[in-house]
């Protein structure tokens, strides 16, 4: 699996593995597999998966060869070996169900998004909950998942006037992507609903509900259920 | 034992080595913008475990120490007084109980570090006491310090050589800031970036050689550089991937952005260079309006300079520790 990876030394302590240049489920799956393998074989590295690339951060002083060889070269060889080895690769992806109360005060853009998609509100919710998503990466803010797998018919442009404050838990569509705001943040995506789950808690272990590689499904819930679940979440 | 913030200054926050290892969760490193200055401030008060210090920006805070405290100030050349008495920088100083330390403006640089013997004893998050102002992690959800904040200070042994008393008492020695602080505005070493070769022919010579100006619109996330707009031969649409402190990005405006300690963990702008890690503290010290220029460098040179600086810093920290013990 290592033969068609591009390696790029980004910084003194950073090596980028590039698998491709597209947002694509198959490419991202290769990234997640490589990240799992490297975490197992070279646990001293920090692995940061993205859509089609994997950043490795390392201590250059521990990768300098006995011959004074350049650390990125040494690391690259070790990565090739680790990815070329047979044997078990990480566990199957975790499955997460994320309950969402769609529309109303929780999803103020739902009707607009439905109209832009040429769908009724119920049909939009049905399509959004029918798909299986994959967490391609976390970024933008702690615990913010970039999800692959949005039904192409649900792709809508970002808002022309971004909101100063998007409430925590908001489930949103921006372009061909869907995501969940873990905290109250400024944001330009269209808000279609909200989850009562807490996505990120720095004092919890693990701090993030989701990790890159997880499979995610959304499940529609009503306001009563939202309040019930919200009350159960640690704050 | 605690210290109260009377006036917060322009932007003061607790910072330590930051939070490495959590970028995959969307959590950046944050941490001190000028790492060596932060480390030396701790060394000068005898802290050995990477305690958090207060990072002051452009104008420092005023603070009242409830009990006697041992402090050190490093980094930017900041005005510091207790009453009418100036407090020397790059050394350690015992302040009697009830002292009000007034930190003012900076004649050079933009970030000064105030370390206290014992460290600021706030709860760590993900292994760090750094405030991540952008991700809102750290003391009081990662906000800047405010008037009325009371920071607990860890308990320690008194420092030999600084006797108890009612007067402000600095050590009779300090360290030379010149190896650790760039007073001259040297060019910053720039490693090649993934998309640097795509700059148009007019922009190529500007990247290495032209003088840019640090914009007012700069913060702990990034320094924005004014003066020359740079252009790629043709626009480039990239998908998001991991980003790093030190990355020189080129957004469509053509105004380069140098990412700093609170760099977002992912981004999608073209990367036209990577500032050598050893020169990042010097960039972090440039003020809005200060000049920045780059010189081309290589990974080998950058690694060698970084390793040499780490050795020098390690030796100096050991020497300070020995001298404090036998003061």
Rounded distance between C-alpha atoms, residue A170 and residue A183, angstroms = 9
- If one compares B41 and A234, the residue with the highest pLDDT of the two is B41
Per-residue pLDDT tens for B272-302?
A: 999 999 999 999 999 999 999 999 999 999 9
Cis ω for the linkage preceding A206 (within 30 of 0): yes
Contact residues on chain A for B242, CB-CB shorter than 8 A: 16, 48, 50, 53, 55, 139
The pTM score is: 0.94
Asked if B26's CB is within 8 angstroms of A16's CB, the reply is no
Contact residues on chain B for A46, CB-CB shorter than 8 A: 20-21, 23-24
Per-residue pLDDT tens for B198-256?
A: 999 999 999 998 999 999 999 999 999 999 999 999 988 889 888 999 999 999 999 99
Query: Residue B138: closest CA among chain A residues belongs to which residue?
Result: A202
The mean pLDDT of B17-46, rounded to a whole number, is 97
| Among candidate residues B248, B309, B49, B191, the one with its CA nearest the CA of residue A8 | B191
Say whether pLDDT at B62 is over 60: yes
pLDDT of residue A173: 95
Per-residue pLDDT tens for B139-148?
A: 999 999 999 9
pLDDT of residue B325: 87
* A56 at interface of B, judged by CB pairs closer than 8 A: no
User: Given pLDDT bands bounded at 50, 70 and 90, which one contains residue B316?
Assistant: very high
Averaged over successive runs of 10 residues, the pLDDT of chain A (235 residues) comes to 84 96 92 95 96 96 74 94 76 89 97 96 97 94 94 92 93 92 92 97 92 96 96 81
What are the angstrom distances between the C-alpha of B67 and each of A209, B62, B64, B74, B95?
43, 16, 9, 22, 8
ipTM given for this complex? 0.94
pLDDT of residue A165: 93
Interface subset of A 16-35, CB within 8 angstroms of B: 16, 21-23, 35
| Spatial strand order in the sheet of B271-275 | B291-292, B212-214, B222-226, B257-259, B247-249, B271-275, B188-192, B294-296
Per-residue pLDDT tens for B131-169?
A: 999 899 999 999 999 999 999 999 888 887 787 788 999
pLDDT of residue B160: 79
Asked if A207's CB is within 8 angstroms of B277's CB, the reply is no
| Among candidate residues B177, B144, B189, B217, the one with its CA nearest the CA of residue B283 | B189
Contact residues on chain B for A9, CB-CB shorter than 8 A: 299
Rounded distance between C-alpha atoms, residue B65 and residue B151, angstroms = 10
Say whether pLDDT at B320 is over 80: yes
Question: What b/e readout covers B181-203, taking b as 16+ CB neighbours within 10 angstroms?
Answer: bbeeeebbbbbbbbbbebbeeeb
pLDDT of residue B282: 97
Contact residues on chain B for A72, CB-CB shorter than 8 A: 299
Per-residue pLDDT tens for A161-196?
A: 889 999 999 999 998 889 999 999 888 999 999 999
pLDDT of residue A194: 98
């Amino acid at each position: 699996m290592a033969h068609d990876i591009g390696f790029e030394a980004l910084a003194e302590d950073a090596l980028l593995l590039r698998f491709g240049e597209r947002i694509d489920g198959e490419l991202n799956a290769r990234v997640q597999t490589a990240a799992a393998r490297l975490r197992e074989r070279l646990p001293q590295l920090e692995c940061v998966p993205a859509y089609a690339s994997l950043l490795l951060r390392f201590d250059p002083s521990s990768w300098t060869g006995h011959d004074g060889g350049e650390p990125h070269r040494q690391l690259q060889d070790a990565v090739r070996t680790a990815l070329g080895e047979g044997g078990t690769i990480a566990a199957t992806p975790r499955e997460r169900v994320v309950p969402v109360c769609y529309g109303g005060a929780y999803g103020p853009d739902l009707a607009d998004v439905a109209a832009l998609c040429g769908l009724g509100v119920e049909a939009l919710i049905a399509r959004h909950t029918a798909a299986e998503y994959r967490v391609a990466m976390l970024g933008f803010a702690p615990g913010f998942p970039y999800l692959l797998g949005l039904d192409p018919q649900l792709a809508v442009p970002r808002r022309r006037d971004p909101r100063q404050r998007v409430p925590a838990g908001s489930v949103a569509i921006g372009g061909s992507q869907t995501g969940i705001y873990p905290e109250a943040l400024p944001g330009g995506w269209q808000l279609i609903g909200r989850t009562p789950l807490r996505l990120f808690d720095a004092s919890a272990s693990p701090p993030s509900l989701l990790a890159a590689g997880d499979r995610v499904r959304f499940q529609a819930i009503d306001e009563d259920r939202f309040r019930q679940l919200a009350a159960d979440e640690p704050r | 034992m605690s210290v109260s913030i009377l006036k917060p200054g322009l932007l003061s926050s607790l910072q330590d080595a930051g939070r490495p290892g959590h970028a995959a969760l969307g959590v950046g490193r944050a941490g001190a913008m000028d790492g060596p200055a932060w480390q030396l401030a701790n060394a000068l008060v005898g802290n050995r475990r990477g305690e958090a210090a207060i990072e002051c920006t452009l104008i420092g805070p005023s603070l009242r120490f409830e009990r006697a405290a041992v402090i050190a100030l490093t980094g930017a050349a900041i005005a510091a007084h207790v009453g009418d008495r100036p407090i020397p920088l790059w050394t350690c100083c015992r302040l009697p109980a009830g002292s009000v330390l007034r930190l003012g403006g900076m004649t050079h640089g933009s970030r000064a570090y105030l370390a206290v013997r014992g460290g600021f004893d706030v709860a760590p998050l993900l292994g760090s006491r750094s405030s991540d102002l952008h991700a809102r992690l750290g003391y009081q959800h990662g906000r800047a310090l405010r008037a009325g904040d009371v920071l607990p200070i860890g308990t320690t042994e008194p420092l030999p050589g600084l006797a108890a008393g009612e007067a402000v008492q600095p050590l009779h020695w300090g360290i030379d800031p010149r190896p650790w602080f760039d007073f001259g505005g040297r060019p910053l070493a720039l490693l090649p970036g993934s998309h640097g070769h795509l700059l148009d022919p007019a922009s190529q010579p500007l990247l290495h050689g032209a003088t840019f100006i640090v914009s007012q619109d700069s913060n702990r996330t990034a320094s924005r550089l004014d003066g020359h707009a740079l252009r790629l031969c043709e626009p480039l649409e990239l998908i998001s991937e991991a980003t790093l402190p030190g990355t020189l990005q080129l957004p469509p405006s053509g105004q380069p952005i140098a990412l700093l300690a609170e760099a977002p963990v992912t981004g999608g702008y073209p990367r036209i260079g990577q500032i050598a890690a050893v020169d990042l503290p010097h960039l972090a010290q440039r003020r809005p309006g200060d000049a920045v220029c780059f010189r081309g460098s290589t990974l080998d040179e950058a690694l060698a300079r970084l390793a040499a600086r780490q050795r020098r810093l390690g030796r100096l920290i050991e020497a300070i520790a020995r001298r404090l013990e036998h003061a």
